[in-house]
Chain A
Amino acid sequence: MKNLRMKAARAAKDLSQEDLAQICHVTRQTINAIEKGDYNPTLKLCIAIAKALDKTLDELFWE
């Protein structure tokens, strides 16, 4: 399932996938895979993404 909330939050912060990837110390492809729903990130990465986007885990990842 696509993670549109994460994509929207990233766009709201005016960050590209590459920018977010650099902040979270992952590759752009990993961010892309999370947004497309192809990859389930670990809690550690979820927290890093949530912090980078100034959102809570619930706002980004809870169904």
Chain B
Amino acid sequence: MESFLLPAIILAAMIIAIIMISRNTDSAENYDERQELVRLKGYRTAFFTLIFLVMAVIFLSSSGLSLFSHIPASLMLWAALFASMTVFDLICIRNDAFSGVHGRSIKGSIAFCFLLGIPDLVTAILNILGHGAMEEGMVSESVGIDLLFGITLVFNGLCLLIHLLHQRKEASEEE
């Protein structure tokens, strides 16, 4: 039952995010035209990354390779989802299309990533050290998702932090 809790929470969070994004129809108010183009490129690249990775998961899970026979297909699908989301985030962060014209602050996003990601990562590592990562010969799904979620958030937080420092340098050079 517990193994379904985290995926259910993530799924619920994603559904809420999708509803909130789709309700905000006048997105031109939030992102300028260059940012809209960058985000479009990000969505496209992330979509094809997801398609490619899902195909890879299907291939690997049916290939019978011993390495992948210990990883549940659902965990590999979660990894594909997190990877494609990271691709989108990286494109947006790299091209300054992460927060809108009057959007959320980068500092807030960094804090969000670290506050949510680090505890998740630490929990996953402690679980692995305490009980191991395997359950009945397979990689534990809950530990795996914790680890993936934590790595994704901390990685995004680090990217945002580097970007913020780069932006400050660029702004001071411009002045």
Chain A interfacial positions (CB closer than 8 Å to B): 16-18, 21, 25-30, 32-33, 39, 41-42, 44-45
User: Is the CB–CB distance between A42 and B101 below 8 Å?
Assistant: no
Can you spell out 18 A-B residue pairs with CB atoms less than 8 angstroms apart? A25-B101, A26-B32, A26-B33, A26-B34, A26-B101, A27-B34, A27-B35, A27-B96, A27-B101, A28-B171, A29-B96, A29-B167, A30-B33, A39-B34, A41-B33, A44-B33, A45-B32, A45-B33
Q: How far is the CA of A56 from the CA of B96 in the complex (A)?
A: 28
Q: Which residue of A lies closest to B34 (CB)?
A: A30
Complex alpha-carbon distance, A27 and B100, angstroms: 8
Chain B residues bordering chain A, tally (CB within 8 A): 12
Interface residues of B (CB under 8 A from A): 32-35, 96, 100-101, 167, 170-171, 174-175
Closest to A34 in B: B34
Residue of B nearest to A29 (CB): B96
- Whether A32 contacts B174 by the Cβ 8 Å rule is yes
Identity of the chain A residue whose Cβ is nearest the Cβ of B101 in the assembled complex: A27
Among residues of B, the one whose C-beta sits closest to the C-beta of A42 is: B33
Q: Which residues on B sit within 8 Å (CB–CB) of A30?
A: 32-35, 96
Q: How far is the CB of A12 from chain B (nearest CB, A)?
A: 16
Q: How far is the CB of A41 from chain B (nearest CB, A)?
A: 7
**Top 10 A-B residue pairs of the complex, sorted by shortest distance between their CB atoms:** A29-B96, A26-B32, A30-B34, A39-B34, A30-B32, A17-B174, A42-B33, A27-B101, A27-B32, A45-B33
Contacts of A27 in B (CB 8 A): 32, 34-35, 96, 100-101
How long is the Cα–Cα vector from A29 to B35 in the complex, in angstroms? 9
